[in-house]
Each structure stands twice: as structure tokens, then as C-alpha cells.
Amino acid sequence: MANLELNLLKLKNACAQPRLQLEHYLAEGKKVIGCFPPYTPEELVHAAGMIPLGLWGGNKEPVLAKSYLPPFACPIMQADMEFGLTGAYKGLSAVIIPTLCDTLRCMTQNWRFGMKSIPMIPIVYPQNRKSPASIEYLIDEYETIAAVMATITGQMITEKALCGAIEIYNEHNATMNNFSKVANEHLDIITPTIRHIVMKSAFFFEKAEHTTVVKEIIYELQKLPVYKFTGKKVILTGITCEPNELLKIFEDNSIAVVGDDLAQESRQYRTDTPSKGGAMKRLALQWNARHGCSLVHEEGKPRGSMLLKMCQDTSATGVVNCLMKFCDPEEYDQPYFEMDLKNGGIPTLTIEINQHTASLEQISTRIESFAEMI
Amino acid sequence: MDDVKTINEVPVAKPKRPKAKSMIMIGEQTKALFDSAIAAKEKGELVGWSGSIFPQEIAETLGVVVLYPENHSAGIAARHQADPFLQECEGPLGYSNDLCAYAKVNLAYATVLAGKSSVELPDGGKMVKPDFLLLTNNICNQLTKWYENLAKQLNIPIFFIDTCYNPWDHVTESRVRYVRAQIDQLIADLSAFTGKKWDDERFKEVMKISQRNSYLWERANNLMDRKPAPLSGFELFNYMSCMVCNRGKESTTAILEQLNSEIEKHIADGTSTYPTKENYRVSWDGIACWPYLRHNLHTLKEHGINMVASSYGKAWAIEYEDLDGMARAYCFASTNGDNATTMISRRLEALKKFGCEGTIYHVNRSCKVMDCQMMEVQRQLSKLAGVPFTSFDGDQADYRNYSEAQFETRIQGLVEVMEQNKEGK
């Protein structure tokens, strides 16, 4: 139990102070690459011998960022720009920005000109994944990133190093998915906030290190008797569910999170990199296999049926749509998955996520009512 | 005496300028396109809806009728008919009001076509129900999501050309190969789906027409470099439909030849359609604020400001010689798909070429891809060109996102700086 608490504390501290994690790795002589959300190809960073560090915004009111972004831009991007301009990311060797939405497209340019001290590496994922040519195109994008990173490290990425990184990331995926399952048997310990911390903290550790910590957490949890949870169970969907004060509201209403479809959490772990072929191609094929995400083009609007299945598998009786403010890809998905869930008998609650919002009173009332409904 | 008084009291109506022949031709062409879609449906043929910078030469070669939701939504907004569609979309359909207003109008319109909404169609449903969708993302990512939803709602397929955002200063060969492969696939898939036969000779002909039209469109835009300009710049927005919806047609060639000759006549005669003295020449950045075009024009006219260059209309001047060239051109066509360096260099060239004394930025609430890097572009461009700028909050189709007072104040401010600059010269 002591190990469990210590490990959870370690992850909690990393989420609370990512800057300390950055400084820790810099002190070890490592180079660190900032990874904008979501789906940054961290394996390439890892294979280059550097540490990928997630840049997921935070509670930072935009002041300097207002010179780059209008008030209706994504709160994560506003916070990232503000953190950059105020020096919070000092020490990063570069940032990688995936252009998965219109705001992210523009962020590549805002960063390029506004943050000249930290170089920007763009990654433009193909969206017509039915086209076989998308694989070749994406390999070329990855090779460009690898070439730019070689200019930072002075070393080329080897096939062996990239294959090794893929193994580490696949193992991390498996560990995180396993944690999700085991967590549901210990909902007294793994509260919504703790669950979120375990998931999010992966962005602030070297991945093998994070895998080790999470495996230890799983090991300690499995030694404990299964906890019989009597409250309500929900699935979260969206980009993120933050800040911690918001998750505390779930706890106060005896609501457990038993699964998630959040870009910051399980979405990134549900698609493994395939095992055969050249490493770059394997990574490209992983992108082609991603599914059920608002940022990845797919016909048929499959997210609703995916969420329904998640509810069945976890005995969740409600879905909370954590709608990131001004996130148009998510806003387009919303009417369809809500309708599918409704038709499947699963109630949905949509709450607006804005990392800068101080007042959660209204959301608290709505979660309270939702708890009574499910 | 009484008679004289009566005569004096009757306001003398300002003689209305006769409509230019090219404008009449545009009206006829637009009607013909919608009529052809209805006729195609009656014959049992398939009709598509398309993104505005899709390589339409493919459908044109196959002889398939294609309509353009962005253009159609703009028309609805310009005629002040958007409200019931916006309300329907944000109400019963459950969409956020944060989304693109072109999309919201169209998604609501499509719901009516699908028989699931009773909003009255002000145009009688001339935007007929599509059987397939032609999608590109050189405009924006939202278009991808919008079309995903249309495809689901109407249960129809998407034919997608992913042009990929271009963060580099050139179009990478990997993009050209990817887009070229998709064009080849599109030709095969669309032929099979529509039952139409691909004809290489016809394609060459369409490419030739399309190239001639691009040349004529660019030429008409370029003739605005004369001082004073031969046209009121806003008029060029009216001709965009022939480039957006009919780029590969000979009817467009006829319209643009007519437009060019009308402009040339103005230049030869020393006349202009701009209704007052051209005191200032400006460039316009962003899509037209369709619901308030009249107010924009009126305010600018009060100060003698003519919009002689726009970042937007020229997006359809797409030049290429073969399929690889076509792939490259469509990757690089839209100002929205380009990085800031390319945006700035294109705008800088235009500011110089057209002798602009200021820039007006439309902070279009519908369009994050335009707005989210605009501030940096403004700063750099203003410094490089030595030209002041102003911006105003508006929307391409949502009438709720505009303040007449703000527009007037911002323009007044710009005029003051432009005037100081004139005096300083």
C-alpha cells in the first residue's frame, strides 16, 4: 500500500508541476521535445534519444497570447501560447505540432514567429486514409521530422532504435489499458481524479519509466480485495476532463469514471503499432488504424456505437461529453453520438471544458442532477 | 406656384445604373446551373455537392452536375434568409453556435431536403438533394467534418481529395504524389459511381477552358491596378460564382471575356463603376461579410474607399498544365491551406501591385483558420508594406456577429491614419 501511495504521489506531482519534470530531464543531460496534442509521434522523439513532454495547456489566463489568437480559439492553444511566451517552456529543444484542426494549423505559424527560441516541427497527418498513397505520404512526413530531430541531437535515428521505441510504446498502451480495467475493481482508490492523474502523467515521463510506475500501481491494486462500488458509473468522452476541481465534483456525487474516450487519456492508447514491416511504415499504419476520434476523418460517425459498447463493457449508465470550448471537430460529432446514445438508452450530459474557468458552480449543479438521472 | 412646390418636394430618384451585361450573364449562368441539377435529377442522373476548391474539372469532364454548398449558403446569407436555418441547426439539430455558419445553413437545408425539417426553403429547393459529395480540405478542416455529417445524414458517399495543410513555403513532392494518386482514384471511382465514361480528350478540353478562365479571372482582378480603379471592388465578389461553380465551363469564358472588355472600356473612357471619387485604395482580407455587404460598401463609399484587392477571390485562379500540375495547384490554391510566409508574400505583392494604402481584415467568426494566424500576418505585413490596417468582427453568413457601429468606427480610424500617411508624403 505504501508503494501504491508513493507511486500515485509521484504521478500526481508530475501533473501538478510538469516544469519540474522538464528540469529533471534537462539536469540528466537529456534533450526534451514539447509535444502539442494530440497524436504527436512520440516514438520518433524517443528513438532520437530525447524525452517527449506533452503540452496540454493549463490554468493560465491568456495575456500575451491575445496578440496571436482571438478569444474564440481553443483554450489549450491559448494556454500553450501563453506558457511559451512567458518562458514556462524554456529548455525545450523544439515543439512538434500536429495540424489536426484549423486552430492547430494556425498554431504552427504563431509558434514559428512568436516563439523563435523554440523551433517548431509540423506534422500534417493524411486524412484520406482509404487512399493507399496516404501511407507513403505519412512516411515522408515522419522522415522529415526524423531529419529535423537529427539536427538537434547530431545523431540519426536508427531502425533498431525506432523499433525499440515502438515496443516501449506498445507496452505502455497495454499497461494503460490494463490499468483502466484493474482500476474499475478499485474505485474507492482510483477516484476520477486519481484515474485522470495516472492517465495524464504519461505525458511527463519517459514512457518505459511511466510503464514501470503504472505496472507497480496495478500490482499493488491487484493485491487488494475487489471493492464493491455502489455509486454511479460513467464514461467520459471529449478532449480532456480538467481541472481536478471538476473531477472532484464527480467524486462528491458518488460518480466513478469507468472508462474514457478522451484525447488526453485512452484515445491515444487504443491503437497499437502493428508488428511487421519497416518501423516508419509501421507507425504510418498505426495512424491508419486509429478510429472513433473527432480529429481523424472517418465515414459513418462511428463514435456513438463505440461509446455504447464501452458502456456495455463497463456497466456505465451514463456518458459525460466533456466538450472543449471552441473545439469544432468535437462539436460536429456531438449531435450524432448523443443521438446514438439516446437511442441506446444511455443518458448524456454535456459540460463545457475551459481550463481557465474558475467557477464550476453551474457544472456542479448539472452533474448533481445527472447523477440522479442515471 | 403649387405645381412648382409639388415638383420640388418629390425626391428625384437617382437614375439607376443599368446592369452590366456580364452581370446579367452571371445571373443566367447561376440559374442554368441550378436548372441543370433539377433536370439531371428528373432524368435519373446523379448530382453532387462539392467543396469550393475541389478539382471540379473531373466532374465537368464526366458531365456530372455539381452544386456548391458554400456558395449557396453565402447567397442565402446575402439575401438575409439565413436566420431560420441557423435557428434550426443550433436548436433541433443540436449543433453548437461556434461552428461555421455556411455549414450550419447547409446542414439545416439538407435536413429539409431529407424530409426531417419543415423550415421553408426560400429558393424552393433549387439546391437539390445530392447523391454524392466531393470533398477537399484545402479550404479548412471544418469542411471535412461538415461533409462527414452530410454523408451520414443523407446516406451518400464522399469522394475525398485530401490536400493536406502546407506548413512549408513550397508544395512538397510527397503531397503532390499523394494528391495525384487521389485524383487518379477519384476519376476511377466517380466514373464507376455515376456510370459516366472518362474521356481524355474531353478532359484536355476542360483543362484548357479552365486555364483560360483562370487567366481571364486573374486578368480582370489585375486591371484593378489602374488609378482610379475601373470597378467598385466589391463588384468582383459577384463574379466569384462563375469561378467557384463553373470554372471548367465555356459560359464562364464568355462572362469573363465580357467582364474584361467592360473593364477595358472603363479604362479607355476614364470611367469607373465606383460611384464616388476614389480617395483611398485598400485591400480586403477574408471572405465577404455577406449579410452586411451593403453596409460595408456604404460605409467605405462615405470615405471614398475602394477595395481594389482581395486575398480571397484570387484563390480560384488555379493554373496548371497536367495532372501533376493540377495536384500541386490545388494544394497551393487556397490562402487557407498555406503557411503564413506564403500568405504574407502573396498579400505583400498585391498591396504593392494595386497601390493599396490600407488593409481591412474581416475577423470572420465562422472561420478559425483565417482568424487564428491573422494577427501575426497583420503585424508582419503592415511592417513590410508600410501600410496601416484595421480589423472588424463579422461573419460570412451569421448576421448576429456584426456591429455596424464597430465597423464604422474602425473604418474611420483607418481613414485617419491613411490621411496622415497621405499628408506625410
The tens digit of pLDDT for each residue in A315-368 reads 999 999 999 999 999 999 999 999 999 999 999 999 999 987 767 999 999 999
Q: Which three cell numbers stand for residue A172?
A: 505502455
The tens digit of pLDDT for each residue in B21-59 reads 999 999 999 999 999 999 999 999 999 999 999 998 999
Q: What is the ipTM of this complex?
A: 0.96
Contact B165 A105 (CB under 8 A): yes
Strands (E), B43-97: 47-50, 65-67
The tens digit of pLDDT for each residue in A222-276 reads 999 999 999 999 999 999 999 999 999 999 999 999 999 999 999 999 999 999 8
3-state secondary structure of B67: strand
- Which strand (E) or helix (H) includes residue B364? strand B358-364
3-state secondary structure of A40: coil
Is this model's pTM higher than 0.90 or not? yes
- Tell me the shortest Cα–Cα distance from B106 to chain A, in angstroms: 13
A240-A243-A249 Cα angle (round to 5): 105
Closest alpha carbon within chain A to B147:
A299
**Of the candidates B46, B64, B45, which has an alpha carbon nearest to the alpha carbon of residue B55?**
B64
Model pLDDT, residue A55 = 98
Model pLDDT, residue B120 = 97
Contact B178 A136 (CB under 8 A): yes
Contact A113 B371 (CB under 8 A): no
- Tell me the shortest Cα–Cα distance from A198 to chain B, in angstroms: 31
Count other Cβ atoms within 10 Å, centred on residue A11.
Answer: 22
Mean pLDDT value across residues B62-68: 97
Query: What's the rounded Cα separation, in Å, for the pair A196 and A217?
Result: 14
**Of the candidates B389, B393, B329, which has an alpha carbon nearest to the alpha carbon of residue B360?**
B389
Is a pLDDT exceeding 90 seen at residue B331?
no
| Chain B residues with beta carbon closer than 8 angstroms to that of A350 | none
Report residue A63's pLDDT band, with 50, 70 and 90 as the boundaries: very high
Report residue B6's pLDDT band, with 50, 70 and 90 as the boundaries: very low
The tens digit of pLDDT for each residue in B370-398 reads 999 999 999 999 999 999 999 999 999 99
Kindly state the greatest CA–CA separation across chain B.
83
Query: What's the rounded Cα separation, in Å, for the pair B248 and B245?
Result: 9
> What are the two backbone dihedrals, phi and then psi, of residue A267, each rounded to the nearest 5 degrees?
-55, -35
B396-A100-A109 Cα angle (round to 5): 75
Instruction: Give yes or no for a contact between B135 and B147, defined as CB atoms under 8 angstroms apart.
Output: yes
Q: Which residue has the higher pLDDT, B56 or A101?
A: A101
Please tell me which of the candidates A77, A124, A136 has its beta carbon nearest to residue B177.
A136
- Tell me the shortest Cα–Cα distance from B219 to chain A, in angstroms: 31
Is a pLDDT exceeding 80 seen at residue A277?
yes
Model pLDDT, residue B5 = 42
Model pLDDT, residue B143 = 97
Closest alpha carbon within chain B to A335:
B94
Q: What is the CA radius of gyration of chain A?
A: 20
Mean pLDDT of chain B: 93
